[in-house]
């Protein structure tokens, strides 16, 4: 009696287990989906190639830089200028000033977000301080560079791109794992 | 309830070797016993969750903080939701499935009776854990039944581990129950019971069971991620570690939207059984009902992000989810039209099950209309997270799912107990419930449109009068359900003897066995014409 | 039966009574004050009337059937079922209605999402349980907190007209200009909602979202946080004042001046010592506004979520640690860094208060200079 139910029962149980796995598979799938569509304004977590395409001098794009330390992060953190007008294809460098006013070493991680989300697909970072965690001893300050260009393929409806960085204090995670397991965007 | 069944043991043609007392219930593998336990459990949970709703409504009776602290208020809304969804509605449907599916398809029992025992008995522990977490320092879960990260991770109280554990157990229970339903329907149909002869309750439950198997594991996955984010240093939903809080909502609603249909598809099956019985006329479009149910189930996987229009998504995404959501109105409409066409030129009588079924059709449709309004993305920006949404899903879940469960209880009670319930008392229950439930939920539409957000323990003065009114409706609805308990107890203890047929217009295998249904039915499969 | 009937009749009467008494609660969605909010209202009404029409037909047929086709009238049930014609019809008609509905909805949605060419951009940051506004390209930024006194919430004082919908510093925007909002959050997810603008957008930690509005009429517009964000979700309202461009400019300059002046005052304060009484009174005020939500007015915290300050070893023994945690917060917890939210004076006062209230009688005074020293980094 029970024997004839076994194949179907096993199949269904395996389906349930597979769906449990699928729940976790949604995490990387979501990232792929974000990369394809620019959902949620995520930018690539790795460097883009420096060989920029042709410079499109026929139009200009305004880049707005928003930088905010998270409220648990004591650093002062701001861009050198708050906006920049660029031609698509031009490579630019933007410096961010970071200052650690406390008396202890703090590790920071900047999390980028681009709005409108779809524009994230056309915003390429050649070099960025957000690719790695940044250490800063107490009382010190530093300049953190971002090298970027806007893809000339940027659709014309985007005239302004806002790049936001939220800076988090990840000292605890850094100490726990010696900066191995919590690299962002992997 | 135990007295009921033992009363009738002498009726059995079989000699049953079942232990007496508590052991009978602990060890039972009988689908009727397990069904009864599920139903009694669901009723108890309905009252516990209801008591929490009373706390919520008492606090909201007037502006200002009177009875509870905001943190406790949030625990009440959270646990009320969890208990009603996972403790009341879902177990009640599983109980009905246990009782009725084997009898409807001519099977002697569920296919996997021992697993059946397990799926029930782990459930009380899940809810014991959940309820006990309320007494921990810092209180129980207070992040809403949707437990959005990072409120449920970095910012939650220490009882979150208990919440996660409890949801895991509920999930395992539902998945085992669903596997059992599917195997039973696939393997144990009586000869001649072809797919397109199955009663709609069996069909809708079959589709529900598939939905359960597809999405409950995803829920288990997402609570596991919450657990590891909170306690083990992962960063699925923590932006600082490379995660994304919006990802949580995508995974949750991938489970959550099919879950909504898990709670309503069996209700469609129940109403599709009751309306033809009391209209004395066959269901208008049986095949189209089956197709409509299937397409609703399929579409439910494509609409999850309509819960997330305000999270910020590309226009194309919002449009896709808006169109898919609007599309669901079509098969849902087909169902409602079918029920009305079934009534058309029938010969209707209005016993309590029919009254609840009719109320279901009207009030569920109102919930469907507000659902359609919510699908319109630009308008959703104004409705989202207000009392309009609260009104919407309570119309769908209380006057929808719960009313259908009550209708089913009245409909099959004579079959279960062998006695007719007290019709007069039942009518009282119906009218009190109908009036109070509308006093309770209808004004919520207005309060929401006027701008009152949901999940707040205190509100601006303009909402005061309506909230007082809503609270009174809430207390009345709560009290009305005591009549239901009275009816159930009275019917279990005795009453007019029920015939096998019970209802004049009833059709189906369950009406061919005597009332009360013997402990074992269809040991030899019936012949289906 | 008579009783049932009388109950049924009294229902509309009760509803009407409630309507009459409501303190001006509108029964419908607001039309708002922007072109978009008007379009949203129109969409809402269109779909509402469509639903009403469908409802009238379906429920009409149903109630007709209930009245006419009842066994009590001695009717014989018909046995018809299945009709492909009818079934195709009642599938096709809703599809057509839905397509007609989707067209205006799509148009409005595309307009709502077009944030280009804004005149003013405000960065809106939600945090437990307040809003922070920063005007991009200026130095103007401030927190906006609930202004309703605790006594009103606890029913000790009569409630004011704008109970729970009033803040200490409202957001000010110019009329006739496209104002863009960038939303983000410092902790959990919040949602910034002003019904009159039909703007509701989630503030997600680590990510930014955009929305925009163009208000023509000067006025005060009120809203609330719409996403459950923890204990005091009900107590973080949004108040926006729309001013004419001239008034707006004047306000913006005044605000920039105020902020510059406050910074200058900070420096002067460093040389001053405040008395215990002064510190305690400023400290209590600051504590109630910023700290009491979590640590509770009695300093006992909430077991399991927010630690007690009363009798805590940090408040009694560790002054340096105490100043540090108030200034810099504690990562991974709800404790925020207040260095950027409060003045040195307020921080000094609140720490003094915490070390001397509720029986924490350390007798220690913390001065602005002490806070400044920690802020400058003693390790340097």
* Domain ranges, ordered by start, for chain C: 29-56+84-114, 120-264, 270-376
CATH architecture of A41-177: Sandwich (2.60)
Q: Report the candidate in B182, B25, C329, C216 with the shortest Cα–Cα distance to residue A74.
A: C329
Q: For residue C125, which phi and psi values (nearest 5 degrees)?
A: -120, 120
Which structure tokens are listed for A169?
């204090």
Q: Report the candidate in B466, B472, B434, B432 with the shortest Cα–Cα distance to residue B451.
A: B466
Cα dihedral C73/C79/C84/C87 (nearest 10): 30
Q: What is the 3-state secondary structure (H, E, C) of chain C?
A: CHHHHHHHHHHHHHHHHHHHHCCCCCCCCCCCCCHHHHHHHHHHHHHHHHHHHHHHHHHHHHHHHHHHCEHHHCCCCCCCCCCHHHHHHHHHHHHHHHHHHHHHHHHHHHHHCCCCCCCEEEEEEEECCEEEEEECCCCCEEEECECCCHHHHCCCCCCCCCCCCCECCCEEEECCCCEEEEEEECCCCEEEEEHHHCEEEEECECCCEEEEECCCCCEEEEEEECCCCCCCHHHCEEEEEEECHHHHHHHHHHHHHHHHHHHHHHHHHCCCCCCHHHHHHHHHHHHHHHHHHHHCCCCCCECCCECCCCCCHHHHHCHHHHHHHHHHCCCCCCCCCCCCCCCHHHHHHHHHHHHHCCCCCCCCCCCHHHHHHHHHCCCC
Q: Mind telling me how many Å the CA of A155 is from chain B's nearest CA?
A: 14
Q: Report the candidate in B362, B374, B383 with the shortest Cα–Cα distance to residue B305.
A: B374
Q: What is the side-by-side order of every strand in the sheet holding C237-243? A: C171-174, C237-243, C219-225, C190-194, C199-203
Task: Show residues of chain C in contact with B386, CB under 8 Å.
Answer: 226
| pLDDT number for residue B16 | 57
Q: Which of C47, C62, C70 sits opposite B379 (nearest CB)?
A: C47
C380 near A CB under 8 A:
yes
C66 near B CB under 8 A:
yes
Any idea what the Cα angle at residue C304 is, between residues C300 and C310, rounded to 5°? 20
What is the average pLDDT value for chain A, to the nearest integer? 83
C135 DSSP β-pair partners: C122
Is B332 annotated in the active site? yes
Which structure tokens are listed for B465?
């009068």
* CA distance linking residue B105 with residue B100, whole number of Å: 9
Which structure tokens are listed for A115?
């709005």
| pLDDT number for residue A184 | 42
Is B335 annotated in the active site? yes
Other beta carbons less than 10 A from residue C330's beta carbon = 14
- B150/C205 touch (CB, cutoff 8 Å), yes or no: yes
Q: Residue B459: helix, strand or coil by DSSP? A: coil
Q: Mind telling me how many Å the CA of B218 is from chain A's nearest CA?
A: 5
pLDDT(A181) > 50: no
Question: Among residues B27, B118, B121, B145, which one is catalytic?
Answer: B145
Q: Which residues 176-215 in chain C show a CB within 8 A of chain B? A: 183, 187-189, 191, 193, 195, 198-202, 204-207, 209-210
Q: Which residues 64-103 in chain B show a CB within 8 A of chain C? A: 64-66, 70-71, 74
Nearest-CA residue of chain B relative to C224? B453
Prior bond of B269 cis (ω within 30°): no
Q: Which of B182, B240, B250 sits opposite A26 (nearest CB)?
A: B250
Tokens 């029930």, residue? B120
* CA distance linking residue A60 with residue A84, whole number of Å: 10
Q: Which residues 154-183 in chain A show a CB within 8 A of chain B? A: 166, 168-170, 173, 176-177, 181-183
Q: Residue A138: helix, strand or coil by DSSP? A: coil
**Cα dist. B227→A22, B165, B246, B307, C175 in Å?**
17, 9, 17, 23, 47
Contact yes or no for C268/C254 (Cβ under 8 A): no
Question: Among residues B32, B230, B257, B429, which one is catalytic?
Answer: B257
Prior bond of C273 cis (ω within 30°): no
Mutation site, C298, C305, C330, C334, interface B, largest B CB count within 10 A: C305
B132 near C CB under 8 A:
no
**Cα dist. A13→A7, B175, B391, C318 in Å?**
10, 8, 37, 57
* CA distance linking residue A58 with residue A45, whole number of Å: 30
Task: Show residues of chain C in contact with B318, CB under 8 Å.
Answer: 109, 113
Is B306 annotated in the active site? yes
| pLDDT number for residue A177 | 57
Other beta carbons less than 10 A from residue B470's beta carbon = 25
Region of residue B104 (phi > 0: left; psi between -120 and 50: alpha; otherwise: beta): alpha
Mutation site, B223, B244, B258, interface A, largest A CB count within 10 A: B244
Q: Residue A162: helix, strand or coil by DSSP? A: strand
- Other chains touching A, judged by 3 or more CB pairs under 8 Å: B, C
Q: For residue C127, which phi and psi values (nearest 5 degrees)?
A: -150, 160
Q: What would the CATH number be for the domain defined by C120-264? A: 2.60.40.420
Is B300 annotated in the active site? no
Q: Residue B19: helix, strand or coil by DSSP? A: coil
* CA distance linking residue B64 with residue B459, whole number of Å: 7
Q: Mind telling me how many Å the CA of A60 is from chain B's nearest CA?
A: 23
Q: Which of C205, C330, C379 sits opposite A139 (nearest CB)?
A: C379
Contact yes or no for B365/B334 (Cβ under 8 A): no
Q: Residue A64: helix, strand or coil by DSSP? A: strand
What are the boundaries of each domain within chain A? 1-37, 41-177
The burial of B471, by beta-carbon neighbours within 10 Å (0-12 exposed, 13-18 middle, 19 or more buried), is given as: buried
| pLDDT number for residue A116 | 85
Q: Which of C210, C339, C377 sits opposite A139 (nearest CB)?
A: C377
Q: What would the CATH number be for the domain defined by C270-376? A: 1.10.760.10
Beta strands C179-185 and C120-127: pairing type? Answer: parallel
Q: Report the candidate in B210, B75, B87, B187 with the shortest Cα–Cα distance to residue B133.
A: B75
C307 near B CB under 8 A:
no
Q: Residue B150: helix, strand or coil by DSSP? A: coil
Task: Show residues of chain A in contact with B255, CB under 8 Å.
Answer: 23
| pLDDT number for residue B138 | 84
**Cα dist. B163→B82, B177, B263, B511 in Å?**
10, 21, 21, 42
Q: Which of C117, C327, C332 sits opposite A159 (nearest CB)?
A: C117
Model confidence band, residue A53 (pLDDT cutoffs 50, 70, 90): low
pLDDT(A92) > 70: yes
Is B6 annotated in the active site? no
* CA distance linking residue B502 with residue B512, whole number of Å: 10
* pLDDT tens track for C2-14: 444 444 444 444 4
A76 DSSP β-pair partners: A99
Question: Among residues B31, B57, B80, B392, which one is catalytic?
Answer: B80
C347 near B CB under 8 A:
no
B425 near C CB under 8 A:
no
Q: Report the candidate in A102, A117, A105 with the shortest Cα–Cα distance to residue A172.
A: A105
Percent of chain A exceeding pLDDT 70 equals: 85
Is B250 annotated in the active site? no
Sign of the four-CA dihedral B340, B346, B347, B353? negative
Q: With both helix axes pointing from N to C terminus, report the angle between C35-68 and B352-375 in degrees, rounded to the nearest 10.
A: 160
Q: With both helix axes pointing from N to C terminus, report the angle between B90-105 and B200-231 in degrees, rounded to the nearest 10.
A: 150
* CB burial readout B288-318, b (16+ within 10 A) else e: bbbebbbbbbebbebbbbbbbbbbbbbbebb
| pLDDT number for residue B449 | 95
Is B259 annotated in the active site? yes
- B179/A16 touch (CB, cutoff 8 Å), yes or no: yes
Is B174 annotated in the active site? yes
Q: Mind telling me how many Å the CA of C1 is from chain B's nearest CA?
A: 10
Is B36 annotated in the active site? no
B350 near C CB under 8 A:
yes
Question: Among residues B8, B18, B454, B520, which one is catalytic?
Answer: B454
> Mean pLDDT, consecutive 10-residue segments, chain B of 529 residues?
42 57 89 96 97 96 92 95 96 97 95 94 96 91 93 90 96 96 95 94 97 96 94 89 91 94 96 96 93 94 93 88 93 94 94 97 96 94 96 96 97 95 96 96 95 95 94 96 96 92 92 93 87
The secondary structure element, H or E, covering residue A163 is: strand A160-169
Is B234 annotated in the active site? no
- Beta-carbon pairs below 8 A across chains A and C: 113
CATH architecture of B2-511: Up-down Bundle (1.20)
C159 near B CB under 8 A:
yes
Nearest-CA residue of chain C relative to B280? C77
Which structure tokens are listed for B185?
């329907």
Alpha helices by DSSP H, listed for B60-199, are 70-82, 90-105, 113-121, 123-133, 160-187
Q: Which of A9, A39, A40 sits opposite B183 (nearest CB)?
A: A9
Contact yes or no for B335/A55 (Cβ under 8 A): no
Is B38 annotated in the active site? no
- A70/C205 touch (CB, cutoff 8 Å), yes or no: yes
Ranges of chain C whose pLDDT falls below 50: 1-22, 379-380
Question: Among residues B31, B307, B384, B445, which one is catalytic?
Answer: B307
Which of B37 and A122 is assigned the larger pLDDT? B37
DSSP strand E in B297-430: where? none
Q: Mind telling me how many Å the CA of A167 is from chain B's nearest CA?
A: 8
Is B14 annotated in the active site? no
Is B145 annotated in the active site? yes
Task: Show residues of chain C in contact with A41, CB under 8 Å.
Answer: 207-208
Model confidence band, residue A186 (pLDDT cutoffs 50, 70, 90): very low
* CA distance linking residue C374 with residue C327, whole number of Å: 9
Which structure tokens are listed for C118?
């804004």
* CA distance linking residue C361 with residue C326, whole number of Å: 19
C330 near A CB under 8 A:
yes
The burial of C77, by beta-carbon neighbours within 10 Å (0-12 exposed, 13-18 middle, 19 or more buried), is given as: middle
Q: Report the candidate in B215, B313, B220, B223 with the shortest Cα–Cα distance to residue B256.
A: B215
B148 near C CB under 8 A:
yes
Prior bond of C129 cis (ω within 30°): yes
The secondary structure element, H or E, covering residue B7 is: helix B2-7
């Amino acid at each position: 009696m029970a024997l004839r139910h076994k194949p179907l029962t096993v199949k269904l149980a395996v389906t349930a287990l597979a769906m449990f796995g699928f729940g976790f598979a949604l995490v990387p799938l979501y990232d792929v989906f974000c990369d394809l569509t620019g959902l949620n304004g995520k930018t690539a977590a790795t460097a883009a190639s420096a060989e920029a395409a042709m410079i499109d001098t026929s139009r200009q794009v305004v880049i707005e830089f928003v930088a905010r330390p998270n409220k648990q992060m004591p650093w002062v953190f701001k861009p050198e200028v708050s906006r920049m007008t660029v031609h698509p294809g031009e490579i630019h460098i933007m410096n961010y000033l970071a200052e650690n006013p406390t008396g202890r070493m703090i590790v920071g991680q900047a999390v980028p977000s681009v709005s409108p989300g779809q524009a994230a697909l056309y915003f390429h970072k050649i070099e960025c301080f957000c690719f790695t965690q940044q250490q800063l001893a107490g009382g010190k300050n530093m300049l953190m560079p971002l090298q970027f260009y806007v893809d000339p393929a940027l659709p014309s409806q985007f005239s302004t791109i806002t790049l936001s960085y939220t800076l988090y204090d990840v000292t605890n995670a850094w100490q726990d794992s010696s900066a191995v397991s919590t690299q962002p965007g992997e | 309830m135990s007295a009921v069944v033992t009363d009738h043991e002498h009726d059995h043609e079989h000699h049953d070797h079942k232990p007496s007392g508590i052991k009978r219930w602990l060890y039972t593998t009988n689908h009727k016993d397990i069904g009864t336990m599920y139903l009694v459990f669901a009723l108890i949970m309905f009252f516990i969750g209801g008591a929490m709703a009373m706390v919520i409504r008492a606090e909201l009776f007037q502006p200002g903080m009177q009875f509870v602290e905001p943190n406790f208020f949030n625990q009440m809304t959270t646990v009320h939701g969890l208990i009603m969804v996972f403790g009341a509605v879902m177990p009640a449907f599983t109980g009905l499935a246990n009782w009725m599916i084997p009898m409807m398809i001519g099977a002697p029992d569920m296919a996997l009776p021992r697993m059946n025992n397990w799926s029930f008995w782990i459930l009380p522990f899940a809810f014991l854990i959940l309820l006990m977490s309320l007494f921990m320092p810092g209180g129980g879960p207070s992040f809403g039944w949707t437990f959005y990260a990072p409120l449920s991770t970095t910012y939650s109280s220490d009882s979150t581990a208990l919440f996660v554990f409890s949801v895991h157990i509920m999930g395992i229970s539902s998945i085992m129950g669903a596997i059992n339903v599917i195997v039973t329907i696939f393997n144990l149909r009586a000869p001649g019971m072809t797919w397109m002869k199955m009663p709609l309750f069996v069909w809708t439950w079959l589709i529900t069971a598939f939905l359960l198997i597809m999405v409950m594991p995803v829920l288990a996955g997402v609570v596991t991620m919450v657990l590891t984010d909170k306690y083990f240093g992962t960063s699925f939903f923590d932006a600082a570690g490379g995660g994304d809080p919006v990802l949580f909502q995508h995974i949750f609603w991938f489970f959550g939207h099919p879950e909504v249909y898990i709670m309503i598809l069996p209700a469609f099956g129940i109403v599709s059984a009751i309306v033809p019985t009391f209209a004395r006329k066959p269901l208008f479009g049986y095949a189209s009902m089956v197709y409509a149910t299937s397409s609703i189930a399929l579409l439910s996987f494509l609409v999850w992000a309509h819960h997330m229009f305000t999270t910020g998504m590309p226009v194309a995404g919002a449009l896709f989810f808006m169109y898919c959501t609007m599309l669901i109105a079509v098969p849902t409409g087909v169902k409602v039209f079918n029920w009305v066409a079934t009534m058309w030129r029938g010969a209707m009588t209005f016993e309590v099950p029919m009254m609840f079924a009719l109320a279901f059709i009207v009030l569920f449709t109102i919930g469907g209309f507000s659902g359609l309004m919510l699908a319109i993305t630009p308008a959703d920006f104004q409705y989202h997270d207000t009392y309009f949404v609260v009104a919407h899903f309570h119309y769908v879940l209380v006057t929808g799912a719960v009313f259908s469960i009550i209708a089913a209880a009245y409909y099959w009670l004579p079959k279960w107990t062998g006695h007719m319930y007290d019709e007069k008392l039942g009518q009282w229950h119906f009218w009190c419930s109908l009036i109070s439930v509308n006093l309770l939920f209808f004004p919520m539409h207005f309060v929401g449109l006027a701008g009152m957000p949901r999940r707040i323990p205190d509100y601006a003065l303009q909402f005061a009068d309506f909230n007082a009114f809503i609270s009174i409706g809430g207390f009345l609805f709560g009290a009305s359900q005591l009549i239901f308990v009275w009816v159930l107890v009275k019917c279990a203890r005795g009453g007019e003897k029920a015939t096998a047929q019970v209802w004049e217009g009833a059709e189906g295998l369950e009406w061919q066995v005597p009332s009360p249904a013997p402990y074992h039915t269809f040991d030899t499969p019936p012949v289906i014409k | 039966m008579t009783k049932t009937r009388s109950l049924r009749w009294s229902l509309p009467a009760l509803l009407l009574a409630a309507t009459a008494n409501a303190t001006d609660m509108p029964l419908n969605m607001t039309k708002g004050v922007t072109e978009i909010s008007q379009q949203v209202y129109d969409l809402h009404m269109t779909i509402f009337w469509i639903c009403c029409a469908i409802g009238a037909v379906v429920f009409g047929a149903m109630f007709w059937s209930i009245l006419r086709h009842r066994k009590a009238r001695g009717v014989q049930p018909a046995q018809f079922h299945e009709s492909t014609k009818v079934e195709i019809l009642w599938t096709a008609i809703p599809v057509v209605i839905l397509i007609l509905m989707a067209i205006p909805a799509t148009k409005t949605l595309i307009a709502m999402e077009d944030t280009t060419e804004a005149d003013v951009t405000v960065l809106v940051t939600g945090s437990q349980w307040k809003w922070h506004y920063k005007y991009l390209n200026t130095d103007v930024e401030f927190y906006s907190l609930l202004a309703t006194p605790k006594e009103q919430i606890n029913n000790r004082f009569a409630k004011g007209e704008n109970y729970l919908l009033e803040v200490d510093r409202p957001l000010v925007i110019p009329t006739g200009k496209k104002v863009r909002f960038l939303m983000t959050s410092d902790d959990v997810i919040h949602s910034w909602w002003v019904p009159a603008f039909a703007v509701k957008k989630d503030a997600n930690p680590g990510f930014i979202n955009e929305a925009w509005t163009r208000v023509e009429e000067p006025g005060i517009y009120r809203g609330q946080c719409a996403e459950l964000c923890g204990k005091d979700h009900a107590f973080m309202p949004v108040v926006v004042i729309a001013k004419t461009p001239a008034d707006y400019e004047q306000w913006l300059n005044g605000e920039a001046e105020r902020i510059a002046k406050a910074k200058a005052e900070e420096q002067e304060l460093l040389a001053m010592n405040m008395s215990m009484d002064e510190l305690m009174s400023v400290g209590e005020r600051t504590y109630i506004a910023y700290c009491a939500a979590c640590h509770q007015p009695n300093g006992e915290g909430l077991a399991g979520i927010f630690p007690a300050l009363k009798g805590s070893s940090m408040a009694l023994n560790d002054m340096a640690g105490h100043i540090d945690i108030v200034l810099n917060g504690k990562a991974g917890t709800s404790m925020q860094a207040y260095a950027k939210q409060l003045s040195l004076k307020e921080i000094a006062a609140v720490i003094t208060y915490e070390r001397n209230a509720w029986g924490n009688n350390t007798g220690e005074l913390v001065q602005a200079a002490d806070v400044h020293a920690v802020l400058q980094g003693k390790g340097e």
